[in-house]
Amino acid sequence: MTSSEFAALLVFSTAMAFTPGPNTTLSAALAANGGLKRAMTFILAVPFGWGLLLLACAGGLGAVIQAAPVLRGGIKALGLAYMLWLAWKLATTARLAEADGGLRVGFWQGVMLQFVNIKAWMNALIISAGWITVADPIAPRLAIVLPLMMAYGLASNFTYALIGSALRSWLAVGQRLAWFNRALAAVLVATAAWMAVL
């Protein structure tokens, strides 16, 4: 991989990883509602699941999905439904006590979310086609790109979770948490709407 290819990958990955999406929004919400420690399960699940998705795309699954409109539509429908369900759960959590009982996303749920996350698919397909499968053999390129992309996933979600966690005590006052959760739910709904038209 040339230095210009690598620089382009870094720019693209920074933009994709740190712009709001289902993962980063959920990381911030989980940390704000349940604390950083509880959010870490999801934060660790994201790069693991996304790494599996990238491996699958580099191995040919991406081409199969792109060639089969029914599969693409199914993934999109599942992803949108899951994002809207998460938005509803978030929007209806108004107090930290409620968050302790309801707003949870486990490790394997976080991993599986990557496979119905349209932004994750789009990112994995572009990176696979643009930086991994462009030259044979793909193994050396994959050995560079995969750990780098997983590190980006961890860094971006941890950053958003730190922000959510830092706001936790401020959000505990009055209706602040309810409005924060509704705002994040609106981000999820807006992301779902954007992804629905792709």
Per-residue pLDDT reduced to its tens digit, 16-59:
888 888 899 889 989 988 889 989 999 999 999 999 999 999 98
For the chain, the average pLDDT equals 86
Per-residue pLDDT reduced to its tens digit, 66-100:
778 888 788 778 878 887 888 888 788 766 655 45
pLDDT of residue 111: 94
Average pLDDT over residues 3-25: 89
Average pLDDT over residues 153-177: 90
| Share of residues in the chain with pLDDT > 90 (%) | 35
pLDDT at 165 over 70: yes
Distances (CA, A) of 11 to 3, 18, 46, 60, 159: 12, 11, 20, 25, 18
Q: CB neighbours of 88 closer than 8 A, spacing ≥ 6?
A: 185
pLDDT of residue 102: 55
Closest CA to 38 of 99, 93, 114, 92: 99
Q: CB neighbours of 66 closer than 8 A, spacing ≥ 6?
A: 72, 125
Tokens of 40: 């870490």
Per-residue pLDDT reduced to its tens digit, 169-196:
888 888 888 888 888 888 888 877 877 7
Average pLDDT over residues 141-150: 94
pLDDT of residue 160: 95
pLDDT of residue 149: 94
Q: How far is residue 26's CA from residue 16's CA, in Å, rounded to a whole number? A: 16
